[in-house]
Amino acid sequence: MSAKTITVLTIVLCLVSFRSIFGQESTPSPYLPEYPITVESCGEPVTFAQAPSRAISFDTNMTEIMLALGLEDSMVGYWISGVPVKVDYQEQIANVPLISDVTWPPPGMETIVSYSPDFVFGAWNYNFSEEWGVTPEALAEFGVTSYVLSESCITVGVQPDPSLERTYQDILNIGLIFGVEDRAQTIVSEMRANIQDIQDHLRDVQTPLRAMYYGGGSDAAFSAGRYAMPTLLLSTAGAINILGDIEDDWIPEASWETIISLDPEVILIDDTPWESAEARIATLKSLPQLADVTAVREERFVVVPWTYVLPGIDMDEAIAFLAHEFHPERFE
């Protein structure tokens, strides 16, 4: 795992502290939501007659968005695929039932319905899947409305915004749905400011680093295409995803031949319960065909928590960390 410098840790801690202080000192908005409210989810309008009061969130990143918005009292359950919410949210989540922390498969329709939810915040290839019958349409038959994480809409042929705006919009939409739009606006404004500050430091970077995301695999690499979060993180932090022109989100099998020809200078790796970053690095080092790839030869691996490579509330922290790793000289 790559060493985190004191400077990087200081920046990340400052971002967390600023968010906490900002939230405590801000004056509540007089905003009062007027229902019905309609938002767009994967290109389709979804209308809410009132704020949901029995919500379920699927996986850590979506659960943390809900908690950042202070919605734990409106939740009747959550699922995580093995990665707990961060320490900041442990007290908030303590009284919300954990449906499951089994990595795969996620809870099926029978389990979901048993919690009598009125709302599900999910995503394709997380919990929504035609294969096991959990879809927004299937939930609607039980009177359950849902909102789909924008990144995953590509799975059903709806191209998401290939920019950070889609994550901002997800946060704003959840805030609108639950009648906490003022809190959502505060969070998004703060995230924008933090990310703009990082980009100001990188303004004169002439040649972005050639980078890629590696999520495992030996015969081929699990990686990220144009619409996956790692591509957006890399491009905002002073790098460029060598596979970022592939019109998809996640790439199950990126060929080593292609990767070798594009010669990444740095490889982004997430640390997960199902496969550690150390194990993934060991795999890369063990493949003889990768010996001359710059990132492997120079052992330039940047390790991040799994939640950093997903759309979520820590997007600004992830970008700050990567920018310091890629271009430390810009923050001296």
pLDDT tens column, 168-181:
999 999 999 999 99
Residues 311-321, mean pLDDT to the nearest whole number: 96
What pLDDT digit, counting tens, does each position of 102-118 carry?
888 889 999 999 999 99
Judge whether residue 287 has pLDDT over 80.
yes
C-alpha–C-alpha distance, residues 180 and 279, integer Å: 42
Specify if 104 maps to a domain.
yes
Over the chain, what is the mean pLDDT?
A: 90
In 3D space, the residue among 96, 95, 99 whose CA is nearest the CA of residue 108 turns out to be 99
> Are the beta carbons of 209 and 240 closer than 8 angstroms?
yes
Kindly state the helix (H) or strand (E) to which residue 258 belongs, with its residue range: helix 256-262
Specify if 22 maps to a domain.
no
Instruction: Dig out the tokens for 60 from the structure.
Output: 């850590």
C-alpha–C-alpha distance, residues 171 and 304, integer Å: 22
pTM recorded for the entire structure: 0.88
The full length of the chain comes to 332
Residues 265-275, mean pLDDT to the nearest whole number: 95
C-alpha–C-alpha distance, residues 234 and 213, integer Å: 9
Do 56 and 99 lie in one domain? The reply is: yes
What pLDDT digit, counting tens, does each position of 201-254 carry?
999 888 999 999 999 999 999 999 999 999 999 999 999 999 999 999 999 999
Question: At which of 193, 225, 245 does a domain end?
Answer: 193
Question: At which of 142, 158, 193 does a domain end?
Answer: 193
C-alpha–C-alpha distance, residues 322 and 147, integer Å: 29
Task: Indicate which CATH number applies to the domain containing 216.
Answer: 3.40.50.1980
What are the backbone angles phi and psi of residue 198, rounded to the nearest 5°? -65, -45
Specify if 41 maps to a domain.
yes
At residue 19, the pLDDT reads 47
C-alpha–C-alpha distance, residues 327 and 242, integer Å: 18
What pLDDT digit, counting tens, does each position of 16-72 carry?
444 444 444 444 444 567 899 999 999 999 999 999 999 999 999 999 999 999 999
Do 170 and 54 lie in one domain? The reply is: yes
Write out the residue range of the structural domain in which residue 119 sits: 31-193
Judge whether residue 157 has pLDDT over 70.
yes
Do 41 and 172 lie in one domain? The reply is: yes
Q: How far apart are the first and last CA of the chain?
A: 23
C-alpha–C-alpha distance, residues 135 and 65, integer Å: 21
Within 10 A of 34 (CB to CB), how many other CB atoms are there? Answer: 7
At residue 60, the pLDDT reads 95
Do 238 and 100 lie in one domain? The reply is: no
Judge whether residue 153 has pLDDT over 70.
yes
Question: Tokens 């063990």 sit at which residue?
Answer: 286
Question: At which of 159, 193, 227 does a domain end?
Answer: 193
